[in-house]
A = this chain, B = another copy of it.
Amino acid sequence: MASSATLPTLHFSPKPSTDSSIGRSETCNLFLRFRNHDLVSRRSFSVSFDSLGLNRSGTPVLKFDRIRSKISASSAQVMEQSPRKTDSRVPTIVDVDLGDRSYPIYIGSGLLEEHDLLQRHVHGKRVLVVTNTTVAPLYLDKVINALTSGNPNVSVESVILPDGEKYKDMDTLMKVFDKAIESRLDRRCTFVALGGGVIGDMCGFAAAAFLRGVNFIQIPTTVMAQVDSSVGGKTGINHRLGKNLIGAFYQPQCVLIDTETLNTLPERELASGLAEVVKYGLIRDPEFFDWQEKNMQALLARDPSALAYAIKRSCENKAEVVSLDEKEGGLRATLNLGHTFGHVMAVDMSHRLGWIDDSIVKRVYNILQLAKLIPPHLKL
């Protein structure tokens, strides 16, 4: 077995791009390629050279279909099947390790009924819940109840924004500041983001900038937000010339993921979130990719255990990358796979450049079709 220090790993090339590229997507390089990279995590290194089936003297092309569960050291258990049912009210906890800005991600079914879980992370006695017109009728009362139940000293305000990416702008953000200021909130308040990625990004940036920074909590209600955008502290809004150009790196007190909120998620949003789950398999976790190939039907059927496992494993991957590279000096840019022009085009381009072989392309097309992210008739 080769020394782990010399192992090639999945990485972007020739240099990391960002989701903050300004009108120059033509120069983005969000393709899959193998490179040695100092920043790559232990988990990536733990994939043995042998199991990858690489030709060490030849071109660095991964035979992805030979990746198996030979991984010798990984913090996550290999799941050939969906995990056994356990008490869903006991949350799985994934820790995001960022020194004095570390925080837990709680994952489980029915966690919004576990009032103490939320209340222990509320600072001060004033809370502002930021949500939107779609989520508010479904979960706002439940969250207010979770915040105030048995806790009469806490008062909760809420601001309900219009739903959609097109409202992720400064004008809408100002409505959050208006509400916070009109409610006379002070520095000891807590903001709560209740919704998908747009709400999390906007509420997080509002919390970062209100009085130069107040506490906040993420309660993501979409798969996309649960496995990606709510974790890692990237917050911000769009500018008319580009996405996420104005914002802050700002970490929450905790992320609370109640998988029951996925029961009301539209099919299209579910598939969109699964694209982010697939991403983690592609960029750094082949055993998780294996698991996804076996369990995609369960995920689409919203099997609670399968969803909980996929979310946990995704959060572990994201937490590890963020811990290694919080401000996106390099490695973190791998998390942007698919964010510029989609997995299919990224894989296609990687293949054209000779960085990945046919078998990987086939498997990626296959899993994206399983996840209903691309139509079944799309040809390789």
Which residues of A line the B interface, CB within 8 A?
18, 20, 22-24, 170, 174, 177-178, 181-182, 184-187, 205, 208-213, 234-236, 239, 241-242, 244-249, 327
Contacts and interface: CB of A to CB of B under 8 A. Distances in A.
B245 A213 contact: no
A241 B20 contact: no
Contacts of A187: 18, 20
Contact of A186 (B22, B182, B236): B22
A213 B249 contact: yes
Contact of A239 (B177, B213, B327): B177
A239 B186 CA distance: 14
Nearest to A185: B22
B327 A213 contact: yes
Contacts of A20: 187, 211-212
Nearest to A237: B209
B248 A236 contact: no
Contacts of A18: 187, 211
Contacts of A246: 177, 209-210
Contacts of A182: 241
Contacts of A23: 184
Contacts of A245: 177, 181, 210-211
A189 B45 CA distance: 34
Contacts of A248: 208-209, 212-213, 248
A125 to B, nearest CB: 16
Contacts of A242: 181
Determine how many copies of this chain the complex contains: 2
Give the interface centre of A181, A186, A187, A213 by most chain B CB atoms within 10 Å.
A181
Contacts of A211: 18, 20, 245, 247
B241 A181 contact: yes
A100 to B, nearest CB: 11
A30 to B, nearest CB: 16
Contacts of A184: 22-24
Nearest to A205: B209
A158 to B, nearest CB: 19
A197 to B, nearest CB: 16
A88 to B, nearest CB: 36
A213 B245 CA distance: 10
A182 B242 CA distance: 10
A249 B247 CA distance: 14
A239 to B, nearest CB: 6
A245 to B, nearest CB: 6
A305 B248 CA distance: 41
A185 B23 CA distance: 11
Nearest to A242: B181
Given A22-B181, A22-B184, A182-B241, A247 B327 contact: no
6 contacts: A23-B184, A24-B184, A170-B174, A205-B209, A208-B248, A210-B245
Given A181-B241, A209-B236, A212-B249, 6 more contacts: A178-B239, A209-B248, A212-B236, A212-B244, A213-B248, A213-B249
